[in-house]
Amino acid sequence: MSQLPERIEAGKYIIVKCPKCGRIDKFVVTDEHIKEIEISGISNIAIDHGDHVILVAFDIWGSIRGTYVYKKAQKGKLSDASLDLRYETKKIVIPEASFGESVVLYIFNREEKNLEVYGRSFPELENKVMKILVLMHRIENTLKVSYDLVKMREEDFTTFIVQSKKFSLILTVRDPLDAETEKKILEWLVQAKGLIS
Ligand SMILES: [Zn+2]
């Protein structure tokens, strides 16, 4: 008699081996994952391996549908942010003083799968940022559209994204986000969009 596959539930573990360094991780499935799978058929989790991140996509059977590796580097303070274009480096000026410490900038090179982090990031935030990037990538692939500027509001922070074919700039701001700061951020995003296009 063959065994029927069992759906995963919150609280169950999934084991994954990193295709880059071989490390084995065990992660717990959450209610949030299950909800995501019910909506889109797949959920994912980002696991920090120091100089790289693995992004694991899994389905309702707990089967791993893909493991993607991204290079990652903590590059310094927000004020150090710069964009590495092939023949030049462009400084990204962020009015840090007005944004404060609650802002983190991620520069994702979409072609080279390379994530650079400026500001005080932490794993949970990176996890969310990677998930947002994957979600956008899937939406773009499915709907054959591209989004230039996106704002996403989550429980305790807001994410702004501008992107071109090659780069995604992701700015995360922990709340509270007042109208004045948001206006400055939007102005900055429009400028940044010019830099990466
Ligand atoms: Zn690894």
Which two three-digit tokens encode residue 81? 């942010």
**Distance from the alpha carbon of residue 69 to the mean position of ligand 1, in angstroms:** 8
Q: What CATH number did the domain enclosing 146 receive? A: 3.30.450.30
Which two three-digit tokens encode residue 115? 């994530």
pTM of the model: 0.81
**Distance from the alpha carbon of residue 111 to the mean position of ligand 1, in angstroms:** 20
Q: Are residues 106 and 172 in the same domain?
A: yes
How far is residue 27's CA from residue 12's CA, in Å, rounded to a whole number?
8
Q: Are residues 94 and 185 in the same domain?
A: yes
Confidence check: pLDDT of 90 > 80:
no
**Distance from the alpha carbon of residue 174 to the mean position of ligand 1, in angstroms:** 28
Q: How many structural domains comprise the chain?
A: 2
Residue after which a domain boundary falls, among 69, 89, 109: 69
Question: Is 1 part of a structural domain of the chain?
Answer: no
Provide the domain limits for residue 161: 77-196
Question: Is 85 part of a structural domain of the chain?
Answer: yes
User: Quick count: other Cβ atoms within 10 Å of Cβ 124?
Assistant: 10
Which of 114-123, 131-140, 163-172 has the least mean pLDDT? 131-140
Residue after which a domain boundary falls, among 52, 69, 86: 69
- Looking at residue 1, its pLDDT comes to 59
- Looking at residue 174, its pLDDT comes to 82
Which range, 2-6, 41-45, 90-94, 129-133, has the best average confidence (pLDDT)? Answer: 41-45
Confidence check: pLDDT of 138 > 90:
no
Tell me the three state secondary structure of residue 7. coil
Which is higher by pLDDT, 64 or 131? 64
- Looking at residue 99, its pLDDT comes to 65
Edge-to-edge order in the sheet of strand 157-163: 43-48, 52-58, 64-76, 114-118, 103-109, 167-174, 157-163, 149-153
**57 closest CA partner among 132, 122, 134:** 134
Question: Is 6 part of a structural domain of the chain?
Answer: no
